Chains A and B, each alone.
Chain A
Amino acid sequence: MYKTPDGREIFVIDGHTHFWDGSPENQSNIHGKQFIDCFYAYHANLSPPEELWEKSKFEKYSEDDVYRDLFVDGPDDMAIIQTTVLGDFYKTGFGCIERSTQMAKRHPERFIVNGSFDPRDGEKALEYIHYMKETYDIQGVKMYTAEWNGDSKGWSLNDPAAYKCFELCDKLGIRNIHVHKGPTIIPLNKDAFDVHDVDYAATDFQNLNWIIEHCGLPRLDDFCWIAVQETNVYGGLAVALPFIHTRPRYFAEVMAELLFWVGEDKILFGSDYAIWTPQWLVDRFWNFEIPEDIAKERGVQLTDEIKEKILGLNAARLYGVDVEAKKKQLAGAPVQIAAE
């Protein structure tokens, strides 16, 4: 719950969070080290100084850290934990559904744990989707198209093998497909961050919601063109949002573009925890105004009502969360963490 300066209570669903183990003990190779180092550079570059973490804590943080940062010190009511396995880089995986589900057990009412699969696994991927639905009753998955898998250094959402998986997701009612476009390295003659496969997949799977994390960055412009044509394409704010601190004017311009092209009902807040913590992000977002010249040029506004949608109501709609009932349930179950 975020309390506004004038005392209003805003319901917050953090649409993009992680519970990872990127520690040296879990790294399989140089790629694992460089992966967490890259995350750390995002953290170090875009966080306010008082929010910075030491490297060792960033590599592997505790269950208590998650509860404190999201729900006690942080304003989140609920958090969606995304799964990112990176089996070629980490011995027991980077962010796994088993470990996240275990962590979430203390307060299951506060978490939505999403699964993940790799279409390149063929039949095994289909079996695994069944397994995740039966075991964890997942409502969504996180797709990382830049994941390495043996000789393959990336895949596309419109690959035939991926379509088989999405058909199954549709059939099983796994409706929310979060997509992170990382750099797909091979084939080298293609744009590594190309987002046009989203266009095909969203057109061909109208029942599924396609939530493009980081709003397609670094292809924000291409993403906006796609989102305006596809009613089932959404944009997640993770990575764009921390610019509110370092480059507020850029953030305003990005926000104005998203409101203009994607629209206020299709933008989702996400802290990308533990790259950033939600407290300062939500606080600054609530108090943020798009400068008048930008708002006027684009003909958009970022009102309190729109902020409330972005911070929680849009995600609640996608995940079938009854906000009033959830508020009551959470009020009766305060978060406990171990005394330090």
Chain B
Amino acid sequence: MLTDIIRADLESDVWERLELVTDPELDEPITEMGFVEHLEIVDSGRVEVGFRLPTYWCSPNFAFLMAFGIRREVSALPWVRGLTVTLHDHCFGDEVNEGVNSGRAFGEVFAKYCDGADLDEVTAKFEAKAFDRRQEVMLLALQERGLTAEQIVGMTLGDFDRLAFTGEEETRQKPRYRALLVSQGLAEHPDDPAFPTWDKQRIDPAALARHLERLRGTRINMEFNGALCRGLASARYKEVEIGPDGPTLVDFIAGRVPPKGRSAATG
């Protein structure tokens, strides 16, 4: 039997791993988006995770990526010996659930549904958008400090690492931006430029404004989609009741989201 304290600790471990899984389209953790609706430690080594997307029609390829992301991150915990991931109420749910719980590799499962093709092109497209959004936060923060275009585009990774930000979004995005720079091989050494484009080009100081114009469009789209997804997720199981004081929204499966342990306390 698990004691409540141990169970809470284990749950907290799982939540921390789940925070590393992002919605590829929004570049936000699935936990932040409220997608994870069920988390249970069945016994000391077995975990069940249930998630639900904002609509039945959300992109199935992203549903696959998130389901396998959950599998990858939760399985990385040394004490986890069994894991079941369940996507609820989705038009491709059966296929995703069968695939993610089969133990087969992502590529193998996914290829079955698209004549052997892979997701590289789509993944790269959304990684590029995530990169642009993270980079814009950094560039705008530096502009705000009064740095010139030359100073900004001339900055190295070493300079970047020495920067300290106080703003919430800058603090959140700085390590995320750096992680993408490194994982994509865009910058590695302290004297590599800190602000290349996704295509590994340097930004001409005179073209920085134009570059930012494009990043701005990417950001507005992602923020808008994020707001829409959050709203649709929150409204998915609500219905209107018309009472004496007019219409109100009633949640008919309220209280289904489990407590989030530490992340809830800080989030």
A221 touches B221 (CB 8 A): yes
A221 touches B220 (CB 8 A): yes
Bits for A173-184, please: 1 = Cβ < 8 Å to B, else 0: 000000000110
A45 touches B235 (CB 8 A): yes
Given contact pairs A50-B246, A225-B217, enumerate 12 new A-B contacts (beta carbons under 8 Å): A38-B55, A41-B54, A44-B239, A54-B242, A188-B113, A189-B122, A217-B221, A218-B25, A247-B227, A250-B227, A253-B220, A253-B224
**Is B127's CB within 8 Å of the partner chain A?**
no
B91 touches A188 (CB 8 A): no
Given known A-B contacts A50-B246, A185-B91, A250-B223, A221 and B57 have beta carbons under 8 A apart: no
B125 touches A45 (CB 8 A): no
**Is A55's CB within 8 Å of the partner chain B?**
yes
Considering only CB atoms, which chain B residue lies closest to A251 in the complex? B224
CB-contact partner of B232 in A45, A183, A247, under 8 A: A45
Q: Which of A35, A42, A45, A217 has the most CB of B within 10 A?
A: A45
User: Which bucket holds chain A's interface residue count?
Assistant: 35 or more
Bits for B226-267, please: 1 = Cβ < 8 Å to A, else 0: 011001101110111110001111000000000000000000
In A125-179, the 8 Å CB interface with B consists of: 146
Q: Which residues of chain B come closer than 8 Å to A189, judged between CB atoms?
A: 61, 110, 114, 117-119, 121-122
In B35-60, the 8 Å CB interface with A consists of: 54-60
B241 touches A54 (CB 8 A): yes
Bits for A36-59, please: 1 = Cβ < 8 Å to B, else 0: 011011101110011011110000
Among the 9-residue stretches A66-74, A190-198, A275-283, the one with 4 or more Cβ atoms under 8 Å from chain B is: A190-198
A-B contact pairs, 5 of them (CB 8 A): A55-B239, A188-B119, A218-B228, A253-B223, A257-B220
Bits for B178-207, please: 1 = Cβ < 8 Å to A, else 0: 000000000000000000000000000000
Task: Please report the C-alpha to C-alpha distance between residue A186 and residue B232 in the assembled complex, in whole angstroms.
Answer: 23
**Is B97's CB within 8 Å of the partner chain A?**
no
Majority SS of interface residues in chain A?
A: helix
Q: Which residues of chain A come closer than 8 Å to B114, judged between CB atoms?
A: 186-189
**Is B106's CB within 8 Å of the partner chain A?**
no
**Is B218's CB within 8 Å of the partner chain A?**
yes
Given known A-B contacts A187-B114, A192-B60, A219-B221, A41 and B121 have beta carbons under 8 A apart: no
Task: Please report the C-alpha to C-alpha distance between residue A34 and residue B89 in the assembled complex, in whole angstroms.
Answer: 9
In A102-142, the 8 Å CB interface with B consists of: none
A41 touches B240 (CB 8 A): no
**Is A205's CB within 8 Å of the partner chain B?**
no
Q: Which 4 A-B pairs have the closest CB atoms?
A: A45-B235, A34-B56, A52-B247, A45-B231
Task: Please report the C-alpha to C-alpha distance between residue A42 and residue B118 in the assembled complex, in whole angstroms.
Answer: 32
Q: Which residues of chain B come closer than 8 Å to A34, judged between CB atoms?
A: 55-57, 89, 91
Task: Please report the C-alpha to C-alpha distance between residue A55 and residue B236 in the assembled complex, in whole angstroms.
Answer: 12
A37 touches B56 (CB 8 A): yes
**Is A62's CB within 8 Å of the partner chain B?**
no
CB-contact partner of B59 in A50, A52, A183, under 8 A: A183
A188 touches B227 (CB 8 A): no
Task: Please report the C-alpha to C-alpha distance between residue A250 and residue B224 in the assembled complex, in whole angstroms.
Answer: 7
A183 touches B58 (CB 8 A): yes
In A194-226, the 8 Å CB interface with B consists of: 217-221, 224-225
Q: Which residues of chain B come closer than 8 Å to A49, judged between CB atoms?
A: 246-249
Given known A-B contacts A50-B247, A186-B114, A41 and B220 have beta carbons under 8 A apart: no
Given known A-B contacts A45-B232, A187-B114, A189-B119, A38 and B240 have beta carbons under 8 A apart: no
Query: Measured between C-beta atoms, what is the minimum distance from A24 to chain B in Å?
Result: 14
Q: Which residues of chain A come closer than 8 Å to B231, judged between CB atoms?
A: 45-46, 246
Task: Please report the C-alpha to C-alpha distance between residue A257 and residue B216 in the assembled complex, in whole angstroms.
Answer: 9
**Is B160's CB within 8 Å of the partner chain A?**
no
**Is A243's CB within 8 Å of the partner chain B?**
yes
Q: Which of A50, A186, A218 has the most CB of B within 10 A?
A: A218
**Is B151's CB within 8 Å of the partner chain A?**
no
A192 touches B119 (CB 8 A): no
**Is A31's CB within 8 Å of the partner chain B?**
yes
**Is B225's CB within 8 Å of the partner chain A?**
yes
Q: Which residues of chain A come closer than 8 Å to B246, judged between CB atoms?
A: 49-50
A254 touches B247 (CB 8 A): no
Q: Which residues of chain B come closer than 8 Å to A218, judged between CB atoms?
A: 25, 221, 224-225, 228
Q: Which residues of chain B come closer than 8 Å to A53, judged between CB atoms?
A: 240, 247
Query: Measured between C-beta atoms, what is the minimum distance from B51 to chain A in Å?
Result: 17
Bits for A246-274, please: 1 = Cβ < 8 Å to B, else 0: 11001001100100010000000000000
Task: Please report the C-alpha to C-alpha distance between residue A221 and residue B220 in the assembled complex, in whole angstroms.
Answer: 8
Q: Which residues of chain A come closer than 8 Å to B129, judged between CB atoms?
A: 221
A185 touches B242 (CB 8 A): no
Q: Which of B89, B126, B220, B241 has the most CB of A within 10 A?
A: B220
In B1-59, the 8 Å CB interface with A consists of: 25, 54-59
Q: Which of A40, A192, A217, A246 has the most CB of B within 10 A?
A: A192
Q: Which residues of chain A come closer than 8 Å to B235, judged between CB atoms?
A: 41-42, 44-45
